[in-house]
């Protein structure tokens, strides 16, 4: 997992974490298998051009998990711990 974090930093994605707690309280691990950097894209919202993709100075955070600081398409998997044992019995 640490090797993936080092590779992400080398690709200019900042310091994304591959594991951590989400706002729901679930703890999990992301396991990317392939990563494609987004170098060009376009988006329009209500007729307004949203501009080009940029690299942020700091990684955005969701819960306790830092996500990439630049646009990236990630293909892979993940595992999240179920918080209550009775849910997994369903």
Q: Answer whether residue 19 is part of any domain.
A: yes
The alpha carbon torsion through 62, 60, 11, 78 (nearest 10 deg) reads: 10
Which pLDDT score is estimated for 45?
96
Containing structural domain, residue 68 = 3-79
Task: Indicate the pTM of the whole model.
Answer: 0.60
Q: Answer whether residue 86 is part of any domain.
A: no
How many domains in the chain? 1
Which pLDDT score is estimated for 46?
97
How, if at all, do strands 61-62 and 65-66 pair? Answer: antiparallel
Tens-digit pLDDT profile for residues 30-84: 888 888 889 899 999 999 999 988 889 998 888 777 888 888 888 998 888 877 7
């Amino acid at each position: 997992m640490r090797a993936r974090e080092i590779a992400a930093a080398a690709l200019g994605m900042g310091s994304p974490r591959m594991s951590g707690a989400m706002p729901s309280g679930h703890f999990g691990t992301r396991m990317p298998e392939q990563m494609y950097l987004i170098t060009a894209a376009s988006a329009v919202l209500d007729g307004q051009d949203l501009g080009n993709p940029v690299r942020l100075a700091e990684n955005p955070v969701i819960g306790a998990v830092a996500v990439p600081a630049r646009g990236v398409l990630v293909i892979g998997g993940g595992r999240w711990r179920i918080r209550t044992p009775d849910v997994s019995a369903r």
